[in-house]
């Protein structure tokens, strides 16, 4: 299925006989908490899941947002009402860069009916659609988490892909170049990685760009239909939006999925012997 859903499509589905499970995953690097925003207003029936506590494991050498334990993830998703046969729609504040983490994680866990809300909560609210402050109590879901449905890279795999394929760095250009690093102990990028900021995938309103435009964007970065490709970011969250954009562009999909370096830069720099490239070139 298409990985992005419009606000009008979601509104129709919420009023249908079989409404989707809606997940509010608003999160911002450095805060404020998305939970606070959820309690102020959210899509009616949406369940809040926290990127830090629900959709990632404990931070450590594997990264700031390592993949969660599969049993813990299954409990979390079932408590949120996620079932294997039911569509799941995830949204964030606007541009889908965080909701894509939920999309990717569910796909990795074996759930193939997942979509991200185009334009996020900002688009939903700007159109005057209904919002709620009520915290729902969904019936428990029956989803079974079967990890491994999508490829995951470790540090060695990321380094190899940067040499023999295309490894895309989803962070802002200044972080890629090593000019600033607000979170991790070292600045720079994986040698050979190509900068592909997640902000380039959406327009000024936070809506996903057309497939043909995304295809041209990735072609300029060296991605072709037969190119092994993967992505990373600071901690494995916004890189998922690169993978979603690749799928929208027709350059990845169920038969040829792109890979996620789940530990991302926070895992790469945990080993002081790993090199860090700086500047605007891959290195």
Tokens coding 212: 């043909």
Cross-strand pairs, 259: 230
For residue 254, pLDDT beyond 90? no
Tokens coding 177: 């170049």
Which pLDDT does position 30 carry in this prediction?
Answer: 80
Tokens coding 184: 């991790």
Distance between CA atoms of residues 208 and 4, nearest Å? 8
What fold is seen in the domain 4-126? Oxidized Rhodanese; domain 1 (3.40.250)
Distance between CA atoms of residues 188 and 180, nearest Å? 8
Q: What is the pTM of this model?
A: 0.96
Number of H helices, E strands in the chain: 10, 10
Mean of the pLDDT values across residues 56-81?
97
- Decide if domain 152-268 falls under CATH 3.40.250.10: yes
Helices 239-248 and 99-108 meet at what angle, rounded to 10? Answer: 70
Query: Catalytic residue among 4, 105, 233, 240, which?
Result: 233
pLDDT, the chain, mean:
97
Triad 205, 26, 139: Cα angle to 5°: 120
Which pLDDT does position 202 carry in this prediction?
Answer: 96
pLDDT tens profile 114-148: 999 999 999 999 999 999 999 999 999 999 999 99
Which pLDDT does position 79 carry in this prediction?
Answer: 98
Is 259 in contact with 183 (CB distance < 8 Å)?
no
For residue 192, pLDDT beyond 90? yes
For residue 186, pLDDT beyond 90? yes
Domain ranges of the chain: 4-126, 152-268
Is 19 in contact with 13 (CB distance < 8 Å)?
yes
For residue 1, pLDDT beyond 90? no
Give the sheet arrangement for strand 88-91, strand by strand. 4-5, 114-117, 88-91, 21-24, 47-48
pLDDT tens profile 10-49: 999 999 999 999 999 999 988 888 999 999 999 999 999 9
Is 193 in contact with 168 (CB distance < 8 Å)?
yes
- The H-or-E segment that residue 19 falls in is none
**Cα torsion 231, 234, 236, 238: sign:** negative
Which pLDDT does position 139 carry in this prediction?
Answer: 96
Half-sphere exposure of 157 (CA within 13 A, CB side): 17
**Please, which pLDDT band fits residue 283 given cuts at 50, 70 and 90?**
confident
Which pLDDT does position 150 carry in this prediction?
Answer: 97
* Whether residue 233 lies in the annotated active site: yes
For residue 255, pLDDT beyond 90? no
Within 115-183, residue ranges assigned H as helices are 120-126, 155-164, 173-176
């Amino acid at each position: 299925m298409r990985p992005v859903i419009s606000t009008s499509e979601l509104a129709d589905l919420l009023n249908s006989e079989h409404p989707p499970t809606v997940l509010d995953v608003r999160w911002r690097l450095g805060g404020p908490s998305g939970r606070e925003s959820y309690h102020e207003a959210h899509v009616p029936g949406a369940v809040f899941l926290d990127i830090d506590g629900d959709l990632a494991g404990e931070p450590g050498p594997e990264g700031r947002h390592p993949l969660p334990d599969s049993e813990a993830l299954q409990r979390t998703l079932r408590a949120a009402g996620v079932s294997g046969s039911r569509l799941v729609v995830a949204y964030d504040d606007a541009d889908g860069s965080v909701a894509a983490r939920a999309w990717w994680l569910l796909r990795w866990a074996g759930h193939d009916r997942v979509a991200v809300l185009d334009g996020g909560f900002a688009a939903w609210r700007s159109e005057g659609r209904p919002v709620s402050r009520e915290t729902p109590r969904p019936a428990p879901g029956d989803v079974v988490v079967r990890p491994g449905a999508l490829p995951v890279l470790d540090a060695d795999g990321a380094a190899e892909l940067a040499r023999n394929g295309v490894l895309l760095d989803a962070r802002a250009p200044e972080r890629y170049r090593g000019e600033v690093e607000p979170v991790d102990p070292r600045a720079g990028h994986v040698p050979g990685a190509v900068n592909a900021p997640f902000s380039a995938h959406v327009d000024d309103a936070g809506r996903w760009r057309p497939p043909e435009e995304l295809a041209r964007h990735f072609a300029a970065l060296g991605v072709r239909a037969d190119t092994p490709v993967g992505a990373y970011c600071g901690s494995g969250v916004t890189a998922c939006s690169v993978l979603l954009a690749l799928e929208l562009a027709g350059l990845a999909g169920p038969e040829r999925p792109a890979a996620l370096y789940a530990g991302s830069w926070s895992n790469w720099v945990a080993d002081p012997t790993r090199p860090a490239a700086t500047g605007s070139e891959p290195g």
